[in-house]
Structure 1
Amino acid sequence: MPLRDALPRLSRPLVRALVKGEPGPPFPRSRRLRPRLPLFLGLLPFRTVDLVLVADLVLAWILFAGGYSLLLTLNGMPPQPGVPTPGINENVLFLCALVSSLPVALRNRWPLAAWRLATGGMLLAAHFMDRLFTQPYSSSGVITYLLVVYSVAVRCDRETVLGAWLVSMLALVAVKPGDPLIALGAVMLTVTALLGYNVRTRRLAAGRLAEEERRSERALAAQAVLEERTRIARELHDVVAHHMSVIAIQAEATPLKAAGDPGTLEEGLREIRALSLAAMTEMRRVLGVLRDGDERADTAPQPGLGRLEELIATARSAGLTVTLRLGGDLLGLPTTVSLSAYRIVQEALSNAMRHAPGAAVSVRITRSGDELRVHVANGAGGGRERPPGNAGHGLLGMRERVSMIGGRLWAGPVGKGFAVTAILPIMEDAEDGA
């Protein structure tokens, strides 16, 4: 690596630590560390108390009082033979004690500023401490410096922490070169910086994990909403597609069939009214489920194979020639299987009404072991072939219903007509209301 490229890269951590670095936002604390104030203290400008900040303020005062008292005691001791009297001004001692303790009170909100102040204060106090004591370090200054280094490591990025560690090591050597305690101080600084940075890494990882969990919960909630919307849309389509198709065909055929006969016209209108009321009843049930998340409004029984004759009669009234063949024991089927079979037949008949009016339709439902086979086939209907690829949403709804219970579905043109075949597994623990 060229020297001109290496110098900026090496100096960048120092510049960030001393000038340009900015601490990250504080990590959220537990509510136990930020309790709410009692009601009788409600006139204060703050509603909660930060116990960590209170502890820092108390510790800063203890370090200041103890350090200042020690400096005054050492400065007032009688001179020893051959040792000059220190004669240091008390204001200077006050300043030394202050810069050795104040950073503790600042480290929570301004960790980098507190570390810079502590570094300058250590270099300033070392000159006078060396005149009063055998070492240029005081216990309060060591505690303060380790605490601010920890705060920097917890709140700042890796490059800034590295720069703060390098400056701290240089300051440690500059205070008293050749001091045997430098090695101990270097170990303490390194351990403190590594501990703080490890805490930062763990907290960031925990924060990312919590965010991923929140995203996963939102995604699951959105998926549940989408699935519910799909279910409601499928139910509405089954109701509207079938009943509206029959109503439209009846409304078109009734005047032609009546041919001016008021009795026949009145009978046709009664059938249209009955179909409209049935459609409105089912739509109210589906919309009631949509409004009520607990499905308390869904009091009407779900349609099933027990209403198959009614469905066939409706299709016949719309002009289809429907033949029904049943095989096997169809009693006691699970609600999901019975409803799915009913909806498949309903949609197949609706498609026949729309695309092959007047056609002959064969409906065959048989049970074999743990499977229910549904087969619906229709002819061309009036000589008009069904337009290819015009399945709309009906076949999609069929496939969704069948796939939800693990079944299989085939649908497609057969000759000039169309056929639908579904095989539904009979599972006693199938969920109701599919």
Structure 2
Amino acid sequence: MTSPPAPRDRARSPLAWLARAFADTLWSGTAGPPHPRPRRLAPRMPNFLGLLPFRTIDLVLLADLVLAYILFEAGYSMLESNVKGPLPPPVWEVPFAAASFALPLALRNRWPLAAWRLAAVTTPVSVLACAPLLDMPYTAQTVIMYLLVVYAVAVRCERHITIGVWIVSAAALWLLELLSHETGTAGFGVVGVTAAVLLGYNVRARRTAVRLLAEEERRSEQALAGQAVLEERARIARELHDIVAHHMSVIAIQAEAVPLKAQGEARLLEQGLAEIRTLSLTAMTEMRRVLGVLRDADGGRDTAPQPGLGHLEELVATARSAGLTVTLKLGGDLTGLPTAVSLSAYRIVQESLSNAMRHAPGSAVSVRITRTAAELQIHVADDGGRRSPAGPGPAEPSRHAGHGLLGMRERVSMLSGKLWAGPAGDGFAVTAVLPVPDAP
């Protein structure tokens, strides 16, 4: 019997987890990728600057660089002028301290953890070196730089690294207080670092939750779209079952009846075989269109008779009773169409009218169906009805997001036709072109 897996290091040994946190914090850990900038924080470059190697302006990075320069200049001037008593002019302390204010801040956007490590090394040195020059061990430049760097670490790094940064920062603050003999500064410093860590961690948690929610919504939409496609294919297969079954039944009856009818007469036998050949070719054409269309998992069938273009008046009457003003225009001879073409045309008109009922109630809808020698053209358009000019509200889904268009595209693709659907003026229009095969 196999033994259960060992518990994770953190649950088994807090010391091991703490050692890993310190190791990742001080030398082996890395920060995560930056969060994508919204458009307002990363505008595109003007056209006259298009030759530059970057195409957008990162306003956050630009602000960091500007602030780093300001802190460097202000810190340098302040350290040179704000000294205590007649001391010899500093040689390296002032440039080193001014650089320690600016450099970590300039690096925090691209390498936040490396910027903190640099600040963790240079800040104590600059504080101790400049302590004789100032009344307070910490300058405003030091506080601003360090809190911004700690915030960047909390936003971009994992939780154990953030905790390690907080522990090292708190311990360094207490140690610097002892070495500089300034009481009361460590407590305020720990409060500031804790606030920066908590704020950054909350921002990271919120961004992670938003990202996971967006991924879940995207997976749900893909699953729903796939399910809709499968359901529509199964429905098309059930509808075309009658067509194929009808042809096969007629062929079987003809094959049985022709010899009895001919009674040895060659001419009648030849005519009967020609009719069987015609029916066979028609059935093969329909079966090719059905190939690849999936059925239900349980193989269930719905063999009820399906409507066609001969039922358009009933469909239009139903739409008019629902409040639509429907104008129906028919052109060409619509009789004698293949059953699959007639059924698909009917379903396209039906779905278009249903969309108009849902998204543009009370609208005027124009339905135009025209047959030429080689194709059947279907055009359904509405004028928008009582929809708000601002477009669909928060609770009203876009027509592009519905599953009805998926079904239309499946039908048209099965018949090797073409489909266009989209906004037209204030309303919406659907145009389909279905090829009409020549009689075999």
TM-score using structure 2 length:
0.60
- CA 1:38–1:6: 2 relative to 1, 3 Å: closer
1:157: Cα distance to partner? 0.8
Residue aligning to 1:47: 55
- Report what 2:241 is aligned to: 237
Q: Provide the residue aligned with 2:355 in structure 1.
A: none
What fraction of aligned residue pairs are identical, expressed as a percent? 59
2:379 is aligned to: none
In structure 2, the partner of 1:227 is: 231
Q: Cα deviations across residues 346-374 of structure 1 (Å, max 9, x unaligned)?
A: xxxxxxxxxxxxxxxxxxxxxxxxxxxxx
Q: CA deviation at 1:88?
A: 1.8
Structure 2 residue corresponding to 1:206, chosen from 187, 210, 226: 210
Q: 2:21 aligns with which of 13, 34, 41?
A: 13
* Deviation sequence 1:125-181 (CA, Å, 0-9, x none): 111221111221111110000000000000111100000000000111111226212
Q: Are residues 219 and 109 of structure 1, via their aligned partners in 2, closer, same or farther at CA, if it must alter by over 3 Å?
A: same
The residue aligned with 2:66 is 58
Q: How far did residue 225 of structure 1 move?
A: 1.4
Aligned 8 A contact 1:154 1:197 in 2: yes
Going from structure 1 to structure 2, the CA distance change for 1:303 and 1:88 (only over 3 Å counts) comes to: closer
Amino acid at match of 1:151: A
Q: Where does 1:322-401 land on structure 2 (aligned, <5 Å)?
A: none
State the one-letter code of the partner of 2:107. L
Q: Which amino acid is 2:140 matched to?
A: S
Rounded to whole Å, the distance in 1 between the matches of 2:307 and 2:18 is 77
> Computing the radius of gyration over CA atoms, which structure comes out larger, 1 or 2?
1
- Contact kept, 8 Å, 2:244 with 2:286, in 1: the verdict is no
Task: State the alpha-carbon separation in 1 of the partners of residues 44 and 216 from structure 2.
Answer: 30
Report how many residues are paired: 294
The answer to whether 1:188 aligns with 2:200 is no
The separation in 2 between residues aligned to 1:19 and 1:200, in whole angstroms, is 22
User: What SS does the corresponding residue of 1:223 show, helix, strand or coil?
Assistant: helix
**Which amino acid in structure 2 is aligned with residue 68 of structure 1?**
Y
Q: Structure 1's 157 and 335: CA in aligned 2 closer, same or farther, altered over 3 A?
A: farther
Partner Cα separation in structure 2 for residue 28 and residue 220 of structure 1: 27
The code of the aligned residue for 2:214 comes to A
Q: 1:207 to 1:333 in 2, by over 3 A?
A: closer
In structure 1, the partner of 2:407 is: none
One-letter amino acid of the structure 1 residue matched with residue 90 of structure 2: I
1:121-136 equivalence runs, <5 A: 121-136=122-137
Tell me what 2:145 maps to. Answer: 144
Matched, 1:197 2:201: yes
Distance across 1 between alignment mates of 2:211 and 2:76: 42
CA distance in 2, matches of 1:111, 1:333: 65
Q: Deviations over 1:20-68 (max 9, x none)?
A: 2111111111012111111111111111111111011001100111001
Aligned CA distance change for structure 1 residues 8 and 266 (closer, same or farther; 3 Å): closer
- The whole-number CA distance in structure 2 between the counterparts of 1:176 and 1:281 is 89
**One of 90, 95, 100 as aligned partner of 1:88:** 90
The CA deviation string for residues 396-434 of structure 1, in whole angstroms up to 9 with x for no partner, is xxxxxxxxxxxxxxxxxxxxxxxxxxxxxxxxxxxxxxx
Q: Which residue of 1 aligns with 2:36?
A: 28
Secondary structure of the equivalent of 1:47? coil
Q: Which residue of 2 is the match for residue 166 of structure 1?
A: 167
Please state how far the C-alpha of 1:72 moved relative to its aligned partner. 1.4
Deviations 1:176-212, CA, capped at 9 Å, x for gaps:
2262122111111111101100110000000000000
- Distance in 2, matches of 1:277 and 1:209, equals 53
* Cα distance in 1 for residues equivalent to 2:217 and 2:13: 42
Once residues 317 and 28 of structure 2 are traced to their aligned partners in structure 1, the CA distance between those partners, rounded to angstroms, is: 69
Deviation of the 1:284 alpha carbon = 9.8
Match of 2:220 in 1: 216
Matches within 5 A, 1:79-118: 79=86, 85-89=87-91, 91-118=92-119
Say which SS state the counterpart of residue 54 (structure 2) adopts. coil
Q: Deviations over 1:256-282 (max 9, x none)?
A: 542312353255346436645875897
Given that 1:239 and 1:283 are in contact with CA atoms closer than 8 Å, whether structure 2 keeps it comes out as no
In structure 2, the CA distance between the partners of 1:193 and 1:333, relative to structure 1 (3 Å rule), is closer
Gaps (5+ residues) in structure 1?
80-84, 290-300, 308-330, 337-434
Aligned mates of 1:167, 1:78 — CA distance in 2 = 34
